[in-house]
Structure 1
Amino acid sequence: MEELVGKLWHRFITRAADREHAEAAVSLEEVTGTVGILFRALGGDGGLEVATAEQTPYGATRGWLARIASGQRRVALAWRDAQTLRLPERIALFADRDLNRDLYLWLAALAAAEDGAPLPRAWLPRNQELTRRTLARFPGMEPRYRRLVAAHLPLRPAPDALPPEAAAQEQALRAALREPGAVAELPLAPALPEPVPLWLHPSPPLADSVAPGPDTGDADDPEREAAPEREVDRRRSAEVTESPEGRDGLLGIRMENIFSWAEYVKVDRTTEEDDSGDAARTLDDMERLTVARDNRSVASRLRFDLDLPAAGYDDLPLGEGIPLPEWDYRRRTLLRDHCRLQLMEARDAQPCDLPPALARTARKLRTQFEALAPARTWYRGQAEGSEVDLDAYLHFLTEKRHGRVSAELGLYRDFRSGTRDLACLLLADLSLSTDASVNDEARIIDVIRDSMFLFAESLSATGDRFALYGFSSRHRSHVRFQLLKGFDEAYSPRVRGRLAAVKPGYYTRMGAAIRHATTLLSAQAASRQLLLLITDGKPNDLDHYEGRYGIEDTRMAILEARRAGLFPFCVTVDREAGDYLPHLFGPAGFIVIRRPEDLPRELPLLYMRLTA
C-alpha cells in the first residue's frame, strides 16, 4: 500500500511541477532533415552531423514545487563542436507546436552563425553577438525570432518576485533577448539565472576531449553491425581511468560507502557479452561514464584477425604500389604521397559463365539496354565513304563556280553505327562490413556481386566503355584496389570469374580509391565520364581515418573528380546515408536503396537514367 501511495504521489507532484506542453511537442527526429538543410544553407559547416544534445545539470534556483518533484535539475540546450550540431531531443517549451518547430530552426541558424568572425568567449556577449549576426545576415529570420522572444518572456520568472540580485540578472537577460547587444555583462547573483533556450549552451559537455587511448575499434566489425540500433544518439559526460584489477567486474567498495554505488558501476563489456539488453538499460541510467582499457577487448582480437594473409594465400599484386595524397581537414592541407594503393587481382579466379539465377534478369536487361545502342545512320561530309554525298557535291559545284573551293570539303557519305561517347567506372566497396546479412539467404557482398554481374551484362549490350573495380584497405599503407574489368578488356568468362571470386575484408579508405579511379577514368577519351560508387557505409580505417577526417578526405576526392570533368554518383544501402552523403556528393549526387536485395535490378536501370 505504501508503494502504491508513493507512486501516486510521485505521479501527481511530477505532473504539477511539469511546465512542458507535451501535446505540442516536436522531436528532433521530425525536423532533422529540415534543420540540416537550413544549417548548411545558412553557411554552417557542411561536415557537421545533426545529433541529440545531452541533458546536463543546471544549477538555477527553483521553486518549492520543482524541488519536491525532482532532485538535480537537468536541461537540454543546443551546442556544437567540431563534429556535431547538438539539439534537444524534444522541444515542448511552448503550447504552440509551430513555435517549438521554429525554435529548432532558430537554433540551427544561430549555430550556423558561429562560422565566421571570432566571437566573445563569455556566454552572454557571445550569444548576443550570434543573434545580431544571424539577424543581420538573414533578415527573414527576424519575424521568427521576435515571435519566439514574445512567447518565451512570459515563461521566465517575473523580476518583481525575485531577490534584488536575481532580479537584476533577469532584467539584463530580458533586455539582451529584446535588443541583442544591449547588455555588456551579466550582473552577479548567488545563483544562475533560468536557462535561455533561445541561446546556445553556456558550458557544453566536453565529451569529445576525452581520449580513450589507442584506437582499437572497427566500424566494420560484423558484431557491431549486428547490434540492435539505438533509438537516440545521446551524448554523455565521460572520463578515462585505469582499468581496475581483476576480471570479475564485481563491485569493490565497503558497505559504509554504499551511497557511492549509484555513481560508480563497473560494467565490464570487454570480456563478457550480454544479449539481454540489461547493459543498454544500465547505460541509459548512468549520468557519467568511466572508460578503461584492459587490452583484452574484442576489437583487439578482431584487429588481429584482419592482419594480411601470407603472400601465398593473398590476391596477386599487380605492379608496384601507387603513392596517393590524402586531405587533412584539420590542417587544411593535402598530404603528398600519404597513402599507398596496391592494384590486386584474385588469385583463385576461374573463368565461368553467368550464374543461372541471374540469367532471366540478365536477358530482360539486355533487351532493354539494346534499345540504347546507337542506330546505324548516314555520316555526311566524309573524306571517303560508301557513296557520293549529293548535297555536298552540289555545294562543291556552287562554290567552284564562284571561285571559292574548300580543300577540306567532304564529298562522300558513309552508313555506320553511331556512338554514345561515354565511359563509366564502377567502384564497389568490398570492406568487411559487406559481409553483413541482408536476409536469411544473402549478404551485402552477394548483392553487390550480383549487381556487378547484371551491370556488366547490360552495358555489354550497349557497347559503352566501362570498367569494374573493388576496393578495401588496411591502414594508409595498404589500400587494396581490386581489378575486375579494365577499360581495355572485353566482358568475358575471365571477367565473370573475377566477379565470382570477390570477397569482403578489411576497411574502407574511400578517398584513395576514388582518387585512383579518377585517374583511370580521366584517361578515357569520352565526352561524358561517369564514376559510380557502390557502398554500404561511411569511410573508415584502422588509424584516424574515421568520423570527420574520413568524411572530409572523401569529399575532397569527389571535388577533385568533379574538377577533372567527371560525374561522381553514389549508390548506397546505408539507411543513415542521408546524414553524410549530401555533404559528400550533394543533394542530387546519390541514391539510397532501402531494400538492398533490390540493388542488382535497380543498378542497371539507374545507369540508364543517368546516361539517357
Structure 2
Amino acid sequence: MAFLAAALSGRDVRVDRVDGGGLAWTDGRAIHVDAAASKDLQLRQLCVQSALLASASLNGDIVRRLRRRPALARRYLAVEGHRALAALADVLPPSMRTLIDASRATHSRSPDESLAVALSKVEIEDAPLAFGEIRAREWLAGERREGGAGASAGSEHVPRRQRDARGEWPEVESEDAVDDVASSPVGGGGGIGRLLQNLLERVRQLKGGGAPGADAATHLTRSGSRAGVVAVRSSRTAESVDDAFGKGTGIAYPEWDTHRGGYRPDWCTVQEAEPPIATHATVAWLDGHELRRPLARLGMGLDRFHRQPQGDDIDIDAAIEMQLERLAGSSPQEAVYVESQRHRRDLSVLVLLDISGSVSQIGPAGTAVHDQQRSVAAALLTVLHEIGDRVSLYAFSSRGRSAVELVPVKRFDDALDSRVMSRLRSLVPGAYSRLGAAIRHGTHLLLTRAGTPRKLLVVLSDGLAYDHGYEPVYGAADARQALGEARRDGVACLCLSVGAGTDVETLRRVFGSAAHATVPSPGQLHRVVGPLFRSALRGAEGRRRAA
C-alpha cells in the first residue's frame, strides 16, 4: 500500500493503520487509515488521500482557512475530493474509479475554486466515508515540523509574521516575502519602511538587480474566492505572434491572484528579445548520449497497417473478401488483421529555461545552477532534435509585470546550428522570475506553432517564483494555475530543477500536480528522464483524446 500511495501522491509517504475506527486523514508525511476497516475500504481511503496530496488540495493557504471550521472542511472535501480523484483517473486502479462522481468533479477546476464552492451557499452532499477527513491542525503542525527540520539542516529560516486580524499566520516562504512589508502603503512611507527597503536592497541585487516593474505590490490579504473563473489567454488581438512582437507591444496574459481568488486580465506583457551572440569561450555541455535511449521510446505515433497476418484488430474488408473467395472455391490469403505499429514521431517539445538572478547562485555540487540547467537544456535540445521531434528553446526572466522577457534561443522552425548554441552560451542570469507568464506564453507557442498532436512543455527552473508584486506565495499559486491551464489544453507539463537543491515542498507548492522532480546534477538526469516524460505525456493523453 505504501508503494501505491507514493505512486499516486508523487511523494515519499508512509501508510499507518490506526486502531480506533476513525476516518482516514493525512499530515503530508503519512496517510492514516482505519486498521479495523476492510481491505477494500482501506484502499479507497488511501486513494482519496493520495489524490488530495497529488493535486495540491491541502496547500497551506487553504488548510489555514479550514482550521477550526470543521463544517467548511467537510464541504470542501466533498467537492475537492472528486476533482482530485478525477485528475488521477488515468492512473487509479480500475476498481477505485467508481469513487469519482463525474458530475460533481466538474464543479471546480482547482483547489481555490473548490474552496469557493464550499464557502458559497450551494447545497453540497456529504462526502462518502472513504473520503476520510481533513485534519487542519495536524497538517499545519506537520508543515511547521518540516520547516524546523529544514532550518536546522542549514537552510535559510525566516520568522513568520505576527497574526493577522483573524488570528491566522500568513505564510512566508523566503526572505523575498518580507519585501512586501517595505513596499506596502502602511510600512513603505515610514522610517521603518525606508530602513527595510535599504536593508533589502542587497536581496534585490542577489535576485538579479535592476529596477523592478512599475506595478504596485501585492499584499498578503486574503479575500473570499469567486467561483466560475475561466482562464483566458489574452484579450488583445494580433494577426500573429510575430505581428504582435514586431509592433513592440508584446502579448498580454492574465495572472491568477490567489489572495482574491480570481484572474487579473491582461495583467502581464510578454516580449521576445533576441540575445546577443556570445564571443567568449565555449561551454562544456552535458553529453546527451545517455538520454537518447529513454527519449527515443517516447513520442511515437501509431500507424495502422491493413491486411496483416497478425494484429490487434480485424480488417473487416479483408475478412469479407476472404469469405467470398472461400465460397468461390479459391484459396484466400488469411491476412485479415489490422496491426498498429509506431513508425513516426508526433511530439513537439518546448523547453523553458529560467535565467533569473536566483539561478546564478552556486548549487550544492559547487557549480552555478544556471550552468547546470543550461547544459541540460542543450542536451535535451540536441537529442530531441536528432531523434526527430520538433523542439524549441526559450529562456525567460522578468522585471515587473510589464516586462516579462522571453529569449527565443531556437524556434520550432529554426535549424539546430552553431548560432543556436551561441545564443545559448550568451545567456546571462539576471532580474526576476514571473513564472506564470512564461508558462502561459510557452503554452501559447505550443498550441499555435507545434504542429503535432502531442505537445510537451519542459520547465527548467530552480522553482523560485519572485518578482515585484509577485511574492512567493502569490507567485507559486500563479505558476500552479498556469500549469493547470496548459494541461487542460492538452499540453503535457514537466518541471525539472537541476542542481539547485530546492526542497521538495517548495517545488510542490510551485509546480503542483504537474510532473516534476529535483535532480542533483545533470549527469543523473538519464536515470529519471524516461519515467518523467512518460508521466507527463500520459497525463495529457486523456485530455487530448477527449478534445
**Taking structure 1 as the reference length, what is the TM-score of the superposition?**
0.47
Provide the C-alpha distance between the structure 2 equivalents of 1:143 and 1:440, rounded to a whole number of angstroms.
Answer: 42
Match of 1:323 among 252, 258, 264: 252
Asked whether 1:306 is paired with 2:209, we answer: yes
Asked whether 1:508 is paired with 2:433, we answer: yes
Match of 2:373 among 440, 444, 448: 448
Provide the C-alpha distance between the structure 1 equivalents of 2:419 and 2:52, rounded to a whole number of angstroms.
Answer: 49
8 Å contact kept, 1:474–1:506: yes
8 Å contact kept, 1:47–1:583: no
Shift of the 490–396 alpha-carbon distance from structure 1 to 2, 3 Å rule, reads farther
Structure-2 residue corresponding to 1:294: 195
Structure-2 residue corresponding to 1:430: 355
Residues 282-338 of structure 1 deviation map (CA, whole Å, 9 limit, x = unaligned): xxxxxxxx97652563422554772269xxxxxxx9632221111223333322211
8 Å contact kept, 2:465–2:475: yes
8 Å contact kept, 2:363–2:501: no
Secondary structure in 1 matching 2:379: helix
Residues 560-604 of structure 1 deviation map (CA, whole Å, 9 limit, x = unaligned): 1122111112112465554255466554622222x1344655575
Provide the C-alpha distance between the structure 2 equivalents of 1:453 and 1:516, rounded to a whole number of angstroms.
Answer: 21
Match of 1:48 among 56, 59, 70: 59
Structure-2 residue corresponding to 1:33: 29
Shift of the 562–372 alpha-carbon distance from structure 1 to 2, 3 Å rule, reads closer
Provide the C-alpha distance between the structure 2 equivalents of 1:229 and 1:449, rounded to a whole number of angstroms.
Answer: 25
Provide the C-alpha distance between the structure 1 equivalents of 2:210 and 2:514, rounded to a whole number of angstroms.
Answer: 38
Match of 1:538 among 424, 443, 464: 464
Asked whether 1:348 is paired with 2:277, we answer: yes
Question: Structure 2: where are the runs of 5+ without partners?
Answer: 1-25, 33-47, 79-125, 142-150, 165-174, 176-190, 213-243, 308-315, 325-341, 539-547
Provide the C-alpha distance between the structure 1 equivalents of 2:277 and 2:127, rounded to a whole number of angstroms.
Answer: 61
1:500, CA displacement in angstroms? Answer: 1.1
Shift of the 144–114 alpha-carbon distance from structure 1 to 2, 3 Å rule, reads closer
Structure-1 residue corresponding to 2:484: 559
Larger radius of gyration: 1
8 Å contact kept, 2:294–2:530: no
1:464 is aligned with what amino acid?
A: D
Match of 2:455 among 529, 533, 538: 529
Percentage of matched positions with identical amino acids: 28
**Equivalent residues in 2 for 1:141-540, closer than 5 Å:** 228-229=154-155, 235=160, 237=162, 293-294=194-195, 297-301=198-202, 303=204, 306-307=209-210, 319=246, 320=248, 321-349=250-278, 355=283, 358=286, 361-366=287-292, 418-439=343-364, 441-523=366-448, 524-540=450-466
Provide the C-alpha distance between the structure 1 equivalents of 2:280 and 2:133, rounded to a whole number of angstroms.
Answer: 68
Provide the C-alpha distance between the structure 2 equivalents of 1:439 and 1:199, rounded to a whole number of angstroms.
Answer: 30
Shift of the 352–340 alpha-carbon distance from structure 1 to 2, 3 Å rule, reads same
Secondary structure in 1 matching 2:253: strand
> How much is the aligned-residue C-alpha RMSD, in angstroms?
5.4
Provide the C-alpha distance between the structure 2 equivalents of 1:395 and 1:143, rounded to a whole number of angstroms.
Answer: 58
Provide the C-alpha distance between the structure 1 equivalents of 2:459 and 2:132, rounded to a whole number of angstroms.
Answer: 42
Provide the C-alpha distance between the structure 1 equivalents of 2:140 and 2:514, rounded to a whole number of angstroms.
Answer: 32
Provide the C-alpha distance between the structure 2 equivalents of 1:43 and 1:603, rounded to a whole number of angstroms.
Answer: 19
1:479, CA displacement in angstroms? Answer: 0.5
Residues 400-435 of structure 1 deviation map (CA, whole Å, 9 limit, x = unaligned): xxxxxxxxxxxxxxxxx9421111111121111111
Provide the C-alpha distance between the structure 2 equivalents of 1:236 and 1:350, rounded to a whole number of angstroms.
Answer: 47
Match of 1:596 among 488, 512, 521: 521
Shift of the 420–342 alpha-carbon distance from structure 1 to 2, 3 Å rule, reads same
Question: Structure 1: where are the runs of 5+ without partners?
Answer: 1-29, 51-78, 86-106, 118-135, 146-196, 202-224, 240-268, 270-289, 310-316, 382-390, 400-416
Secondary structure in 2 matching 1:454: helix
Shift of the 364–109 alpha-carbon distance from structure 1 to 2, 3 Å rule, reads same
Structure-2 residue corresponding to 1:411: none
Residues 110-169 of structure 1 deviation map (CA, whole Å, 9 limit, x = unaligned): 88448599xxxxxxxxxxxxxxxxxx7565799999xxxxxxxxxxxxxxxxxxxxxxxx
8 Å contact kept, 1:43–1:113: no
1:572 is aligned with what amino acid?
A: S
8 Å contact kept, 1:532–1:569: yes
**Taking structure 2 as the reference length, what is the TM-score of the superposition?**
0.52
8 Å contact kept, 1:373–1:463: no
1:608, CA displacement in angstroms? Answer: 6.0
8 Å contact kept, 1:350–1:494: no
Provide the C-alpha distance between the structure 2 equivalents of 1:330 and 1:110, rounded to a whole number of angstroms.
Answer: 22
Structure-2 residue corresponding to 1:180: none
Secondary structure in 1 matching 2:255: strand
1:395, CA displacement in angstroms? Answer: 9.4
8 Å contact kept, 2:27–2:138: no
Shift of the 331–343 alpha-carbon distance from structure 1 to 2, 3 Å rule, reads same
Residues 191-226 of structure 1 deviation map (CA, whole Å, 9 limit, x = unaligned): xxxxxx99999xxxxxxxxxxxxxxxxxxxxxxx9x
Residues 520-573 of structure 1 deviation map (CA, whole Å, 9 limit, x = unaligned): 001222121111111112322122x12332222222211211221111121124
Shift of the 470–464 alpha-carbon distance from structure 1 to 2, 3 Å rule, reads same
